[in-house]
Amino acid sequence: MNDDLDLRVVTTAPDGMFAAVLRGRLEAEGIPTMARSYGAGGWLFPGGPSGFGPVDILVPADRLEEAEKILGETDE
C-alpha cells in the first residue's frame, strides 16, 4: 500500500496468528490490509504480525465500513 493512504484500524487481533486469519478474510474480499504489532516481537518485524501480543489490522479509510461489515459477518 502507498504511504499516502489514510489507514484506519478496523480491529485488533489478540495475536499474529488470528491477525493473519482476519487479514486473509479481508484480502479475499479485495480489501488491502496492513498489520501493526506492539507485542514483544514487534521490534523484530516492524509493521508485521509478530505472533506475540495484539496486532492492529489496518485498512484504507474508504474501505473501513466495508471491512467492518465483513468482519461482523465473520463473528456471527
Average pLDDT over every residue of 26-55: 74
- Are 14 and 4 in contact, with CB atoms under 8 Å apart? no
Residue 58: inside a domain, yes or no? yes
4-21 confidence digits (pLDDT tens) = 679 999 999 988 889 999
Considering its fold, how many domains does the chain have in total? 1
Q: What is the pLDDT of residue 15?
A: 85
- Does pTM top 0.95 for this prediction? no
Residue 8 in grid coordinates = 484506519
36 within some domain: yes
| Range of the structural domain that residue 48 is part of | 7-75
Is 2 inside a domain boundary?
A: no
